[in-house]
Amino acid sequence: MTVFVFGEAMLEFHGDGGEGLRYGGDTLNTAIHLARDGHDVAYVTALGMDAISDAMIAAWQAEGIDTRFVLRHPTRNPGIYAIHVDNSGERSFLYWRDQSAARAMFELPGMAAALKAAEQASLLYFSLISLAILPEAGRAALLGLADAVRSAGGQVAYDSNFRRNLWPSIAVARDTSWQAVRLATIGLPTNVDERQLQELDLTVDQIGAQWLAHGCADVVIKAGEQGCYHFRTGVREHFAAERAVVVDSSGAGDAFNAGFLSAYLKGHKLQDAVSSGQALARRVIGKRGALPAE
């Protein structure tokens, strides 16, 4: 079973200077966790022609990622983000990504081959950030791919990971997200993101009802300390969260998505898939960095 993941990978720098230069990104984090758990994962993005891009690709290959479709931009380089973590483990970010290579990935010659291969994916995974960094034509192409994968009987997993500063307006972000929801078989939203995106104080039940009404088959809502909620037509389930020591909350949602999808793809019951996602998220937030070493 081949998993195709589309998104942006960036260089990661910790504001306290303690961790040095690493790499991360919401979809990359999920892709690497899936590969670590034995799945056949292809990551689709664009990097530069520089030595750091070379090193990033080599590191992903060592993690088991299929990097055939990591495209190389002749003049652009990877984006960068810096993390500051406070004493409670909560993080804040600064970004330098406006001219990243990933933003132009759909303009590169190798993308046609990537899209053709991805149409045969058992699972396609992307996020609202994946869509946010792309120009209009790139968004349309990624959504078109999702339509093709779902029409062919594959699974499409989507996380409405919302970053306000990546969008010209909340209205555009909201409309784009609903287009993705309509094509998703597995929805992995966060209650906080949905409230910000909709500009409403929505309950998890309202979020679940909206996603189902827009066509998503299974919706698993991440709700922090409240745990997770699963919605399917005629089904509502709540899964409590276990207490965890928070060292760094970076990458918690990405880890949950990976743990959940990994178990789901292996045919586990949904309750077990949620437990797998929660367990991986707990391990990640107990260490520093969005993608700690195993």
Would you place residue 257 in the very low, low, confident or very high pLDDT band (cuts 50, 70, 90)? very high
**pLDDT of residue 281 exceeding 80:** yes
Among 26, 66, 218, 254, which one carries the catalytic annotation?
254
**pLDDT of residue 20 exceeding 60:** no
* Span 107-121, average pLDDT: 97
* Run of H or E including 81: strand 79-85
Strand order in the sheet with 79-85: 21-24, 10-14, 79-85, 91-96
At position 179, the amino acid (one-letter code) is Q
Q: Is 128 exposed, middle or buried (0-12, 13-18, 19+ CB in 10 A)?
A: buried
- Confidence (pLDDT) at 255: 96
According to DSSP, the β-strands at 40-47 and 70-72 are parallel
The CATH superfamily label for domain 2-285 reads Ribokinase (3.40.1190.20)
**86 given a catalytic annotation:** no
- Confidence (pLDDT) at 85: 63
Q: What is the pLDDT of residues 126-138, one digit of tens each?
A: 999 999 999 999 9
d(CA 89, CA 139): 34
- Confidence (pLDDT) at 290: 72
DSSP SS3 for 149: helix
What are the DSSP calls for 119-147, one per residue? TT-SEEEEEHHHHHTS-HHHHHHHHHHHH
> Within 13 A of 177's CA, how many CA atoms are on the CB side?
29
Would you place residue 89 in the very low, low, confident or very high pLDDT band (cuts 50, 70, 90)? low
